[in-house]
Chain A
Amino acid sequence: MSIAPAPLEAAKPGGAARAALRPPSSLIPGSSRNAYWLYLVPGLALLTIIVVVPLVWNVYLTFTDYRGIRPPEWIGLDNWIELAGDSVFWTSFANSIAMIVAMVVVPTLLGLLLAAMLFDLIGKKFGARLASFLRATYYLPQILPAVIAAIVIGWILRPQNGALNQVLEAVGLGALQHNWLGSPDTALPSIMVIMVWVQLGYPIVIFMAALQRVDPELYEAAELDGANWYQRFRAITVGIIRPEIFVVTLTCTIAALKVFGPVYALTGGGPGTATIVPAYYAYSEFFQSQQVGYGATIATALTIVIAAVSVAFILVQNRYERQEEER
C-alpha cells in the first residue's frame, strides 16, 4: 500500500549508464514526467490554501495573545510556558490515553479474536452467511455519525428515566443506579465503554477481509500436524494479517487522539474536567473562552503528538519488516 519507490536510476552505482538508456519516465511511453505537473496544480493549490496556510498561521498564533477581536499581539513563548504548567491540559492528555485503551487496545484485541472466530470457526462450521450477518451486526455502530451514536447512548445512560437505570431497577439491582455520565467517577469509564461499542466493528471487518488471503490448506495442514486452535491462531491468523493489525492500530490511535464529537455531544468534557480531551479543550478555548492564541497552542501540541506517534509507529514497523526479511 505504500507508493512504490521511484526507480533510483542515477543514484545507484553503475546506474548512470543504464539511466542514459532508460531515462526517468512516466508509465506512458514518450511523455516526460514533468508534463504531469499540470495535473497536480489544482490539488496542490487547494491543499496550500486549505491546509498549509492555516497550519502555518495556527503555529504563528501560538506565539500571540489573541482574543479574536483586536489584532494578535506577539508574546513569544508565553502560551507554551503556560501550557506546560496547565493541569487541565495534562488531564486532557491522560484522558487521551484512556481513549487509546478504549479505541485501540480493546477493539484490536477483541476484534482479532472475533474475526478469527467468525472466519475460522463460525464461517466454516455454520456457514458464511451467518458469519457475515454477525459481522454486519458488529459493524452497525460504525456507520452512524459519531455524535448520533453518542446521543443514542447518552439517552440510555440518562440518570432519570434512562434505559440502563430502569433496567437495573427492573431486575432488582436498583442499588446500582447511577448518574453514569454526570458523576466524575463513572463519566470517563462510561465514555470508554461507548467508544469500544463504536469502534469494535472496524477491526473485525478489516481483519476478516485480510483473512481471505489465508489459504485454507494452511489451516488444514496445521490441524493435521496437531496444532490446536490457539496455535493456529497465533501462527497463521496473526502472522498473515500483521500488516492490517499495524494499519488498524495506527489509524485508531490517531482517531483516539483526535476524538471530539462524542465528548462534545455527551459530556462537554465534564463533569469538571473528568472527560476533557485535547481536541475539546482547544475547541472550548477558541469558541467559549475566546482565547484563540492559547487554543491554537493546544491544537499545535496535539498535532506534534500525533506526528510523533505516527513517525514512531512507522519506524517500528519498518524495522520489524526488515527483520522479517532477513530471517
Chain B
Amino acid sequence: MSTVLDETAETVVTSARPAKRPATRSAGVRKGRKPGDWVVLAVAVVLGFFIAVPFLMILINSFKSPADYNSSGPLTLPTSLYFDGIVAFWERVNFPEKFWNSVFISGLVAVFAVVLSMFNAFALGIGRVRGRLWIVVLILLANMLPQEVLLYPLYFMFKEVGLYDNQWAVIIIFTVIQSAFGTYLLASVYSTFPKEMLEAASLDGASRWQILWRVVYPISRPTLSVLLIFFFIWTWNEFLIPLTFLVSNATQTVPVAITVLQGDRLMDVTTTSASALLGLIPTLVFFLIFQRTLTRGITAGAVK
C-alpha cells in the first residue's frame, strides 16, 4: 500500500529540481528505424500486454454469469451481458455507502494534511527555525515507521476517548502521517523560495500570516495541488489502520469492505471479479481525471 505512496513521493521530489531541458527538442530525429528497434518495441508492447492482462480479465469476467464462466472459462468474451454479479456485490456491501466513506475520509485528510504541511514548511523552510533539520527528521519518522508500531497504543487511546470505530480517528491519524511527507517536501521547496518576493511583501507591511496566504500559498499552489491528489489516493488505498479502526459496516472504506468480503466463501468467481472491478474503477477514474494536473505539477516544478 505504501508503495504507491513512495512512488508519487519521488515524482514530486524530482520536480523540485529544475528540469534542464534544451530549448529545442530534437523531435524530428525519427530517422532510421532499424530492425533492432522494432524488436525492442515488440518486447515493450508484449510486456505491457502482460501487465494489462489481469485488468482485461476482470473486465471480461465481471459481466459473465457463473454458468457462462463454468462452461467457457475465463478467456472468452461473455455470451451475453450479465450484470447480476455487479449488482449483487453492489448491494451486498452497500457500495454507495462505502464509496462515500472513502471519499469523506480521503478528502478531509488531503485538505487537512496539505494545510498542516504548509504551516510546518513555512516555519521550517521560510522561518528557518533553529534545529530545523532535526525537526524534519523527527517528522519524517512518522512516514518511515511500520504502522504496526503505532497500532495498539492508538487503538487504546482512541477507545478511551470514544473515537474507536469512528472515521475521525482515521482522519486524524492519516492527516499526521501524510503531512509528514508533505512537510519534508514543502520545507525543501520553501527553503529556496524567491527572497525578493518575500522582501517586497514585507516592505509593503504584510504580516507573516498575510505573506503566507497572499504570497507563499499562491506561488506554491502547483505543488500543493499535486500533494492534495497524492494524499487523496494514498489515503484511499490505505488498509491496515482502516481495517483495525473501522470495524462496523457503516464506517468501512472501499478496500476494507471488499477485502473483508473475500473471506466469504459463498462468493462465486464472477462476483469476485465484479468486486475487484468496483474496487479499481474509482482510483482509475480519479487518476485519469487528474493525470494532467499531476504531469503539469511535476514538469512545472515547484517554485520558479
User: Which residues from chain A sit less than 8 Å from chain B, CB to CB?
Assistant: 1-6, 24-31, 33-40, 42-44, 46-47, 49-51, 53-55, 57-58, 61, 103, 114, 117-118, 121-122, 124-128, 134, 136-138, 140-148, 151-156, 158, 161-163, 166-167, 170, 197-202, 205-206, 209-210, 212-213, 215-217, 220, 244, 247-248, 251-252, 254-255, 257-258, 260-261, 264-265, 278-279, 282-283, 286-287, 292, 295-296, 298-300, 302-303, 306-307, 310
- Tell me whether A26 and B202 are in contact (CB under 8 A): no
Least CB distance, A200 to chain B, in whole angstroms: 7
| Nearest opposing residue in chain A for B253, CB measure | A145
Give the residues in chain B near A151, CB-CB below 8 Å.
258-259, 262, 272, 275-276, 279
Give the residues in chain A near B1, CB-CB below 8 Å.
145-147, 260-261
Q: With A138-B51, A151-B275, A163-B75 given, is the CB distance from A213 to B20 under 8 Å?
A: yes
- Tell me whether A46 and B175 are in contact (CB under 8 A): yes
Top 10 closest pairs, chain A to chain B, by CB:
A36-B127, A54-B153, A251-B6, A163-B74, A39-B123, A148-B279, A57-B153, A36-B123, A202-B7, A299-B148
- Tell me whether B144 and A310 are in contact (CB under 8 A): yes
Give the residues in chain A near B276, CB-CB below 8 Å.
148, 151-152, 155
- Tell me whether B51 and A141 are in contact (CB under 8 A): yes
- B58 at the binding interface (Cβ < 8 Å): yes
Enumerate B66-123 residues with CB–CB distance to A below 8 Å: 69-70, 73-75, 116, 119-120, 122-123
Q: With A54-B150, A134-B44, A142-B3 given, is the CB distance from A158 to B269 under 8 Å?
A: yes
| Nearest opposing residue in chain A for B116, CB measure | A43
Least CB distance, A9 to chain B, in whole angstroms: 12
Q: With A37-B129, A215-B22 given, is the CB distance from A117 to B40 under 8 Å?
A: yes
Give the residues in chain A near B61, CB-CB below 8 Å.
163
- B128 at the binding interface (Cβ < 8 Å): yes
- Tell me whether A33 and B149 are in contact (CB under 8 A): no
- Tell me whether B122 and A39 are in contact (CB under 8 A): yes
Q: With A137-B52, A255-B2, A295-B152 given, is the CB distance from A206 to B30 under 8 Å?
A: no
| Nearest opposing residue in chain B for A110, CB measure | B47
Q: Among B3, B138, B287, which residue has its beta carbon within 8 angstroms of that of A146? A: B3
**Dominant secondary structure at the B interface:** helix
- Tell me whether B146 and A302 are in contact (CB under 8 A): yes
- Tell me whether B51 and A200 are in contact (CB under 8 A): yes
- B48 at the binding interface (Cβ < 8 Å): yes
Alpha-carbon distance A78/B272, docked complex (angstroms): 44
User: Which residues from chain B sit less than 8 Å from chain A, CB to CB?
Assistant: 1-7, 9-11, 13-17, 19-22, 25-27, 29-31, 33, 37, 40-41, 44-45, 47-48, 51-52, 54-55, 57-58, 61, 69-70, 73-75, 116, 119-120, 122-130, 132-133, 135-136, 138-139, 141-142, 144-154, 157, 172-173, 175-177, 179-180, 183, 185, 187-188, 191-193, 195, 198-199, 201-202, 208, 211-212, 233, 236-237, 239-240, 243-244, 254-255, 258-259, 262, 269, 272-273, 275-276, 279-280, 283-284, 287, 291, 298-299
Least CB distance, A79 to chain B, in whole angstroms: 14
Q: With A33-B127, A161-B70 given, is the CB distance from A216 to B22 under 8 Å?
A: yes
Least CB distance, A149 to chain B, in whole angstroms: 8
Q: Among B44, B47, B54, B125, which residue has its beta carbon within 8 angstroms of that of A156? A: B54
Give the residues in chain B near A2, CB-CB below 8 Å.
188
Give the residues in chain A near B172, CB-CB below 8 Å.
46, 50
Least CB distance, A223 to chain B, in whole angstroms: 11
Least CB distance, B61 to chain A, in whole angstroms: 8
Give the residues in chain A near B129, CB-CB below 8 Å.
33-34, 36-37, 40
- Tell me whether B48 and A137 are in contact (CB under 8 A): yes
Interface centre among A209, A283, A292 (most CB of B within 10 A): A209
| Nearest opposing residue in chain B for A296, CB measure | B152
- Tell me whether B4 and A279 are in contact (CB under 8 A): no
Q: Among B5, B192, B244, B258, which residue has its beta carbon within 8 angstroms of that of A148? A: B258
Least CB distance, B231 to chain A, in whole angstroms: 14
Give the residues in chain B near A127, CB-CB below 8 Å.
30
Q: Jot down 10 A-B pairs with beta carbons below 8 A, ordered by A.
A: A3-B125, A40-B124, A125-B31, A161-B269, A170-B73, A202-B6, A205-B7, A216-B22, A260-B240, A286-B151
Q: Among A145, A197, A296, which residue has its beta carbon within 8 angstroms of that of B237? A: A145
Alpha-carbon distance A37/B123, docked complex (angstroms): 7
